[in-house]
Amino acid sequence: MAEVIHVNDDDFEAQVIKSELPVLLDFWAPWCGPCRSITPILEELASEMENVKICKVNIDDNTVWASKFGVMSIPTLLIFKNGEVVGKQIGALRKDDLKAFIESHI
């Protein structure tokens, strides 16, 4: 059973850019209501979907990569495949919609 991986500026490249699996990355912050609302959904999907790695970056504590990807609103969800961004979603989604977003990009 996989779980959501909390990534920081130091291990971002190893966990996301160099991942062999596609990655759904959630840029979030603890004070963000919509961010908190999708956390249980991300945890469920991490345990259900073996073909994608689900990661979170707290933008309050880790600003480098959020800045590099121009994150202006949260939650911002990016899908990486072979180190490249192949999908972007700003704002929270219901579980079915989030799963469809992931599947359409991996």
- Decide if pLDDT at 76 tops 70: yes
- The mean per-residue pLDDT over the stretch 70-96 comes to 97
**How is the chain split into domains, by residue range?**
5-105
**Statement: residue 68 has pLDDT above 80:** yes
To the query of whether residue 32 is one of the catalytic residues in this protein, the response is: yes
Catalytic residue at 35? yes
Full 3-state SS string of the chain = CCCCEECCCCCHHHHHHCCCCCEEEEEECCCCHHHHHHHHHHHHHHHHCCCCEEEEEECCCCCHHHHHCCCCCCCEEEEEECCEEEEEEECCCCHHHHHHHHHHHC
Active-site residue, from 4, 25, 32, 66: 32
Q: Is 79 exposed, middle or buried (0-12, 13-18, 19+ CB in 10 A)?
A: buried
Q: What are the Cα distances from residue 72, in Å, to 63, 82, 97?
A: 11, 24, 22
Non-local (6+) Cβ contacts of 67 within 8 A are: none
Fold of 5-105: Glutaredoxin (3.40.30)
Q: Which of 35, 57, 74, 78 is catalytic?
A: 35
Q: What's the mean pLDDT when you consider all of the chain?
A: 96
Check pLDDT > 60 for residue 80. Answer: yes
State the pLDDT confidence band at 1, using cuts at 50, 70 and 90: low
pLDDT score for 2: 83
* Average pLDDT over every residue of 42-47: 96
